Chain A
């Protein structure tokens, strides 16, 4: 084991001892939920350790920790939004069309990624893209529905795919 590894390990160990309690209280205040706070404090340290360059912890550990934690909170809220929307949707479905519990997680994960891809798209682009990907409409059908040229639709589609590829 190199001395760099050893000092990094000790650094993280100390970081945890010194700031974990503080981070958890900070999250608890933000969220008003002790369980979530404990979960997210845990995930924050996991994220810190699985970053590409974990050695670069910076001079302001609490700033870095809250930065990571905030990202995780937002991430969690978005997942909850997606899950709630999904549950509301399947509540309206006839029994045979409700996905099995085994496929549910796969569908939710896909929906979550789709939500992330759609988030940054301009409204028109998003509308055209959904007509194509979800409703299965051809470019010509979308063009006539939205009353724009085929070239414009192709440009929307390219913008949309580029946005998706940049998020992935």
Chain B
């Protein structure tokens, strides 16, 4: 995920870090660093890394850091059996979301940008920011002299911010009905659901702020979280599985068939029903989100199910036989 940075620039960043930590740093030095990091996107990125390094050391209490570092690498022979305690981001949107999207036709069409069910659209914004809009999304783009704001009404976007050519600093903000996510130089996605907006950060950091005035929380690279209207949810490690839609695929491991179909249903128009008696069957596989018909065919080939379609828009998944 990391873009290579010119080693020369990294060397200069290291020089500045040494100087700032020498105990002899002046106000002048701090101003000079601020200028230095504004010289190019790579300079800014290098300094972001520098701050992340300092941040990592500050994040660990002194009483823990030293002992833990000494202990790392001992006792290697102990069986490596600890299961990863990860929490999946594939929390699946229920049918209520599907309905909610349909109950907002007026807002959808007022939006500047709109993707149909199953459509993904790549957009370059006036500042150079890349925006990939996922299936069934609608949003307004509101850029002015003071800020760059995306109002996400429905669906999901993946944003890769560019360095703003504007001479004055303009924050980049994604607003949902639950609150705002303010980019701090970054690549991140926001997905609106009924009760919350989900945020996943691949690079940089994003500050999320619930609309109801709850505490702002910073989500960093490699983390994900969510916010409802009044509060933010705890930050968790990023599940990269939630980012594969960028390439039009999803990977299921031991997933409930009903949950898989709900996810596929986000990418196709009409109704995709799952019979109760097969809902709990477990599925593993890589499935195309861009060609959901192919995904359904694959399911039919590998599972004891029949996929019957009355029309392209009414598909039922039932037990075979």
Interface residues of A (CB under 8 A from B): 1, 5-6, 8-10, 12-13, 15-17, 20, 31, 33, 35-36, 38-39, 41-43, 45-47, 49-50, 52, 54, 76-77, 80-86, 88-90, 92-93, 97, 99, 102, 105-107, 109-111, 113-115, 117-118, 130, 132-136, 138-139, 154, 157-158, 161-162, 164-166, 168
Contact = CB atoms under 8 A, between A and B. Distances in A.
Contact of B23 (A80, A102, A138): A138
Given A115-B72, A134-B62, A164-B49, 5 more contacts: A161-B14, A161-B53, A165-B53, A166-B10, A168-B52
B49 A165 contact: yes
B230 interface: no
**Residue of B52, B66, B68, B240 contacting most chain A CB atoms (<10 Å):** B68
B74 interface: yes
Interface string B3-41: 001010011011101100111000000000000000000
Contacts, number: 199
B140 interface: no
Contact of A115 (B1, B69, B244, B298): B69
Given A107-B64, A157-B21, A164 B251 contact: no
**Residue of B18, B63, B302 contacting most chain A CB atoms (<10 Å):** B18
19 contacts: A5-B290, A9-B290, A10-B291, A12-B249, A13-B294, A13-B295, A17-B302, A39-B84, A42-B241, A45-B286, A46-B240, A50-B243, A54-B247, A76-B84, A81-B72, A82-B72, A114-B60, A139-B22, A162-B14
A109 B222 contact: yes
Contact of B290 (A6, A33, A42, A54): A6
B251 A46 contact: yes
Given A50-B243, A110-B60, A134 B66 contact: yes
B280 interface: no
A110 B59 contact: yes
Interface stretch (B107-115, B142-150, B231-239): B231-239
A7 to B, nearest CB: 10
B18 A157 contact: yes
A61 to B, nearest CB: 12
Given A50-B247, A162-B10, A80 B80 contact: yes
Interface string B61-87: 111111111111111101011111000
B71 A85 contact: yes
B56 interface: yes
A86 B59 CA distance: 14
A168 B54 CA distance: 12
A16 B286 contact: yes
B285 interface: yes
**Residue of B2, B222, B286 contacting most chain A CB atoms (<10 Å):** B286
Contacts of B236: 105
A10 B245 CA distance: 15
**Residue of B243, B248, B302 contacting most chain A CB atoms (<10 Å):** B248
Contacts of B247: 8, 49-50, 54
A42 B64 contact: no
A86 B61 contact: no
A47 B302 CA distance: 24
Contact of B237 (A105, A114, A135): A105
Contacts of B80: 31, 33, 36, 76-77, 80
Nearest to B245: A49
B287 interface: yes
A41 B252 CA distance: 11
A45 B251 contact: yes
B83 A35 contact: yes
Nearest to B119: A1
B60 A46 contact: no
Given A6-B290, A88-B71, A93 B60 contact: no
